[in-house]
Amino acid sequence: MPEPFKNLLNKSVIEGMAEYFAPHCSSFDKTAFVADATNNLEALELKQRTDRIVETMVKHLPDDFEQAAAVVLASLNSSDDADHPNGISGWPVIALTYYVGLQGKSKKHFKSSMTLLKAMTKLMSSEFGIRFFILEQPKETLALLKQWATDDDHNVRRLVSEGTRPRLPWGMRLQRFVDDPTPVIELLELLKDDESEYVRRSVANNLNDIAKDHPERVAGIAERWMQGENHKGVSKHRERLVRHACRTLIKDGHQKTLAVFGYRPPLIREANVELTTPTVVFGENLEVSLSLESSSKQKQALIIDYVIHHQKANGKTSPKVFKWKVAHLLPNTPLELTKKHAIKKITTRKYYPGEHRVEVMINGQSFGEASFELVMP
């Protein structure tokens, strides 16, 4: 069984942090720091452990943030040998970024805070800490992020895109960018052809966030970034980025986005959806078959998904889209597909007995459905 994620912040890690702080602060009490930070630690989840470390840093580091910032900066790992660090690195850095965000977000500490966050993001990521400053001092922070978009270090450049994600998982929501993502898009334009896949992946994730609130705008960006007949002149890196950025829109069947990648409303003469398992016992597989015949004289590019409309406790259904296949439908050549889908216990869904429906979606359009009965043991 894998180690619980929360154990990334354990007593040994906290003791290591104390060892790195102590040489740079004469008043720092290692024993008291560790005792406070690890009190009832086993009962705390990961975010709670992060918060506990931040609270303990506030208590035991100097009250003057500039003095505390100097201690933290001197305590960071500067070794190129990952197996033999000479300072704090890895997941504890996340706690340090929260500390900087909470304690250093006033204007008088902006320079020191940014120095720390830039150094920290090279060791882990400052994507959570930078958000405090985007909220408190947006003009100054965005101007600095624009400079960092051309930094030599790809970790710093990634911070520009990852830190500005409107809906960053586990991070504070940046509602101003949910409402108007223009400042973020301006930064992403600078990074869309970054040499680092790590950065480009972050750009794609940021655009995917934006697409949840501004689908038409992201579809327009995708169209512009993929300009050219059959995408000629567009690098494979750019195309991969845009596809990943549009994954939610594609899954939702957004027609303008699908058209960007050549997936147009399909011309289909006949579509048959059948279930070889009209009754499924929980823990077994649902089996679906699909048969398509084209009414076009041209080869057609298809994205085929299936939607399971799950039964809920209140008798209503909840749809969930699953990927099936990317295929080409040829003239006068039927396409036959089969799919097995496990109906089993998972942590993200509670199953209820009764009638469920399977609906097949092709390039965002419905092309038939069938029902099955789920039996719970």
Residue 47 lies in a domain: yes
Residue 245 lies in a domain: yes
Q: Which of these, 92, 89, 184, lies nearest to 131 by C-alpha position?
A: 184
Cβ atoms 132, 107 nearer than 8 A: no
Q: What is the mean pLDDT of residues 332-353?
A: 96
Residues 13 and 100 in one domain: yes
Share of the chain above pLDDT 90, in %: 94
Query: Which of 245, 262, 279 is at the close of a domain?
Result: 262
What secondary structure does DSSP assign to 135-195, as a single string?
HHSHHHHHHHHHHHTT-SSHHHHHHHHHTT-TT-TTSPP-HHHHH--HHHHHHHHHHTT-S
What secondary structure does DSSP assign to 245-309, as a single string?
HTHHHHHTT-HHHHHHTT-----EEEEEEEES-SEEETTSEEEEEEEEEE--SS-EEEEEEEEEE
pLDDT score of 232 more than 70 = no
Predicted local confidence at residue 4, as pLDDT: 86
Predicted local confidence at residue 326, as pLDDT: 96
Angle made by CA atoms 93, 94, 99, in degrees to the nearest 5: 90
Number of structural domains, the chain?
A: 3
Residues 37 and 118 in one domain: yes
Predicted local confidence at residue 207, as pLDDT: 98
Residue 108: Cβ-neighbour burial (10 angstroms; 0-12, 13-18, 19+): exposed
Predicted local confidence at residue 377, as pLDDT: 87
pLDDT band (50, 70, 90) for residue 81: confident
Residue 235 lies in a domain: yes
Residues 16 and 61 in one domain: yes
Query: Which of 262, 281, 304 is at the close of a domain?
Result: 262
Residues 203 and 276 in one domain: no
Whole-angstrom distance, CA of residue 327 vs CA of residue 254: 18
Tell me the per-residue pLDDT of 347-366, one tens digit each, with 9 for 90 and over.
899 999 999 999 999 999 99
C-alpha pair distances (Å), 146 with each of 42, 97, 138, 188: 41, 20, 12, 10
Residue 244: which domain range?
163-262
To the nearest whole number, what is the mean pLDDT of the chain?
96
Residues 235 and 302 in one domain: no
Residue 371 lies in a domain: yes
pLDDT score of 47 more than 90 = yes
Share of the chain above pLDDT 70, in %: 98
pLDDT band (50, 70, 90) for residue 67: very high
Q: How many alpha carbons lie under 13 Å from residue 310 in its C-beta half-sphere?
A: 15
Copy the structure tokens of residue 354.
């009764």
Residues 256 and 326 in one domain: no
Q: Which of these, 342, 281, 337, lies nearest to 308 by C-alpha position?
A: 342
Q: What is the pTM of this model?
A: 0.89
Cβ atoms 353, 375 nearer than 8 A: yes
Residues 16 and 97 in one domain: yes
Query: Which of 223, 240, 262 is at the close of a domain?
Result: 262
For residue 336, give the H/E element and its range.
Answer: strand 335-342
111-120 burial, b at 16+ Cβ within 10 Å, e below that, comes to ebbbebbbbb
Question: What contacts 208, CB < 8 A, 6 or more positions away?
Answer: 244, 245, 246, 247, 248
Residues 363 and 301 in one domain: yes
Residues 113 and 4 in one domain: yes
Residues 251 and 278 in one domain: no
What does the longest C-alpha to C-alpha distance in the chain come to? 82
- State which amino acid sits at residue 264: R
Predicted local confidence at residue 82, as pLDDT: 79
Cβ atoms 214, 181 nearer than 8 A: yes
Q: Name the 3-class secondary structure at 357.
A: strand
Tell me the per-residue pLDDT of 251-310, one tens digit each, with 9 for 90 and over.
999 999 999 999 999 999 999 999 999 999 999 999 999 999 999 999 999 999 999 999
C-alpha pair distances (Å), 51 with each of 9, 37, 96, 171, 251: 11, 10, 10, 13, 36
pLDDT band (50, 70, 90) for residue 370: very high
Residues 307 and 349 in one domain: yes
Tell me the per-residue pLDDT of 102-117, one tens digit each, with 9 for 90 and over.
999 999 999 999 999 9
Predicted local confidence at residue 228, as pLDDT: 53
Residue 172 lies in a domain: yes
Whole-angstrom distance, CA of residue 365 vs CA of residue 377: 35
Whole-angstrom distance, CA of residue 369 vs CA of residue 274: 8
CATH classification of the domain holding 217: 1.25.40
Cβ atoms 94, 135 nearer than 8 A: no
pLDDT score of 229 more than 50 = no
Residues 23 and 77 in one domain: yes
Residue 29 lies in a domain: yes
CATH classification of the domain holding 363: 2.60.40.10
Lowest mean pLDDT among 56-70, 78-92, 132-146, 227-241: 227-241
pLDDT score of 131 more than 70 = yes
- Main-chain phi, psi angles of 160, to 5 degrees: -60, -45
